[in-house]
């Protein structure tokens, strides 16, 4: 198991009124930024989870979004970033390949020949 | 009539609901969010407040409380469930009612009396009102702006599932009488089966003339009457 950091972005769906975005839009205009056409306000959720792989971490986060983190009626979600936590293990200098990769490869081919 | 009033951490209208049920002759009992079991309960009420601090979204976390694991099958069995204010938000998050409640258009916490029109009286929650009756009830919320996709809205209107609508003194649903920006001035809705009801305003705060309005009383009387009627029918059936 590895530790992954994820960034999830939850935003109001297009067409859903975003009163916060509207208020900030007004505020920006009154401060002189009249070129601002639209403002949408969402939220960023940062997760740290243990998972077998990046794909597994992403899949798990997607389920979390569907079940709890976003409301499908009013919000969209996107998983912006998934990265392995480099501070997690002492092995962080070596790459993903395990030390016994070669041995298992050889065994695998032997088995195939016998079969 | 035994009514379970659910208290989540952060609920603050549970005692008002309890008192309202008692006032009309029902037997209320509290259920803490960690409690389990609704055996012998005739109706469930989810109260207003700020369950779990309204963190993430209003009602989003309360929906996963242990007691909700009993409330969902209770509702699915056709038994009456009422959600007021935060309770309405919880019912939407739990998928027992369609749509969602987002931030008020004003961006403010609205705390005021509102007028609502009773759209239907053939329900367990409104049989003591008159159709089209305009009632005055307090509301107090920051996220009461009802939203649903077009298909859901068409279904709500087509199947007559909008139970209460914000109106003016003449009973007209105008933009000015809409306190929070809700689509079609929707203040309360029913599920398709007619046994789950959610509303943003607080009928339990309109039970005493001393406190400004008694227009909430018929709602609780309706529930007691409909449950008493059903119990009576059951007894009559068993006797034959």
| A69 interface with B at CB cutoff 8 Å | yes
* Domain range summary for chain A, segments of one domain joined by +: 2-88
What pLDDT, on a 0 to 100 scale, did the predictor assign at position A94? 43
Residue B44's alpha-carbon distances to B8, B31, B75, B150, B223, in angstroms, are: 13, 10, 9, 30, 11
* Domain range summary for chain B, segments of one domain joined by +: 2-239
Interface predicted TM-score of the whole assembly (ipTM), two decimals? 0.79
Average pLDDT for B116-125: 97
Could you report the per-residue pLDDT of B76-94, keeping only the tens digit for each? 999 999 999 999 999 999 9
From the candidates B13, B85, B92, B114, which is the catalytic residue?
Answer: B85
Q: List per-residue pLDDT tens for chain A, 115 residues long.
A: 899 999 999 999 988 888 889 889 999 999 999 999 999 999 999 999 999 999 999 999 999 999 999 999 999 999 998 888 876 554 444 444 444 444 444 443 334 333 3
Share of chain B above pLDDT 90, in %: 90
**Arch. (CATH architecture) of B2-239:** 3-Layer(aba) Sandwich (3.40)
Of B92, B106, B147, the CB nearest to A16: B147
* Rounded Cα gap, residues B128 and A80, in angstroms: 53
Nearest-5° angle of CA B168, CA B173, CA B174?
Answer: 80
What pLDDT, on a 0 to 100 scale, did the predictor assign at position B122? 96
Residue B68: name the closest of B36, B101, B43 by CA: B36
Q: Which residues of A28-48 are buried (b: 16+ CB within 10 A; e: fewer)?
A: eeeeeeeeeeebeebeebebe
Mutate to test the interface with B, among A8, A13, A14, A19 (most CBs of B within 10 A): A19
Residue of B nearest to A74 (CA): B100
Average pLDDT for B170-189: 97
Could you report the per-residue pLDDT of B131-144, keeping only the tens digit for each? 999 999 999 999 99
| B95 interface with A at CB cutoff 8 Å | no
Mutate to test the interface with A, among B88, B147, B153, B179 (most CBs of A within 10 A): B147
Question: Among 3.40.50.1450, 3.30.1280.10, 3.40.50.11440, 3.40.50.720, what is the CATH number of A2-88?
Answer: 3.30.1280.10
Contact B201, B212 (CB under 8 A): no
What pLDDT, on a 0 to 100 scale, did the predictor assign at position A19? 83
């Amino acid at each position: 198991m590895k530790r992954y950091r994820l960034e999830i972005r939850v935003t109001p769906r297009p067409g859903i009124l975003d009163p916060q975005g509207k208020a900030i839009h007004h505020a920006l205009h009154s401060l002189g930024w009249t070129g601002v056409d639209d403002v949408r306000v969402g939220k960023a959720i940062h997760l740290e989870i243990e998972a077998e792989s990046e794909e597994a971490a992403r899949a798990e986060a997607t389920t979390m979004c569907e079940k709890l983190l976003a409301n499908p009626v009013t919000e969209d979600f996107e998983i912006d970033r998934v990265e392995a936590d480099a501070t997690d293990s002492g092995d962080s200098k070596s790459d993903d390949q395990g030390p016994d990769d070669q041995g298992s490869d050889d065994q695998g081919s032997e088995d195939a020949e016998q079969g | 009539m035994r009514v379970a009033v659910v208290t989540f951490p952060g609920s603050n209208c549970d005692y008002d609901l309890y008192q309202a049920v008692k006032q009309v002759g029902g037997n209320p009992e509290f259920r803490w969010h960690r409690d389990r079991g609704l055996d012998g309960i005739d109706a469930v009420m989810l109260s207003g407040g700020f369950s779990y601090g309204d963190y993430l979204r209003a009602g989003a976390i309360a929906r996963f409380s242990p007691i909700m694991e009993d409330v969902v099958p209770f509702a699915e069995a056709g038994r009456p469930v009422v959600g007021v204010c935060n309770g309405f938000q919880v019912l939407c998050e739990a998928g027992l009612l369609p749509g969602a409640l987002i931030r008020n258009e004003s961006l403010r916490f609205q705390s005021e009396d509102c007028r609502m029109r009773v759209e239907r009286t053939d329900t367990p929650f409104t049989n003591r009102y008159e159709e089209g009756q305009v009632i005055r009830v307090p509301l107090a919320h920051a996220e009461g702006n009802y939203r649903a996709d077009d298909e859901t809205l068409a279904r709500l209107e087509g199947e007559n599932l909008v139970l209460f609508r914000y109106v003016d003194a003449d009973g007209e649903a105008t933009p000015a009488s809409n306190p929070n920006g809700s689509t079609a001035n929707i203040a309360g809705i029913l599920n398709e089966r007619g046994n789950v009801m959610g509303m943003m305003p607080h009928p339990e705060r309109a039970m005493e003339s001393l406190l400004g309005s008694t227009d909430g009383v018929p709602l609780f009387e309706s529930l007691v009457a409909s449950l008493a009627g059903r119990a009576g029918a059951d007894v009559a059936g068993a006797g034959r």
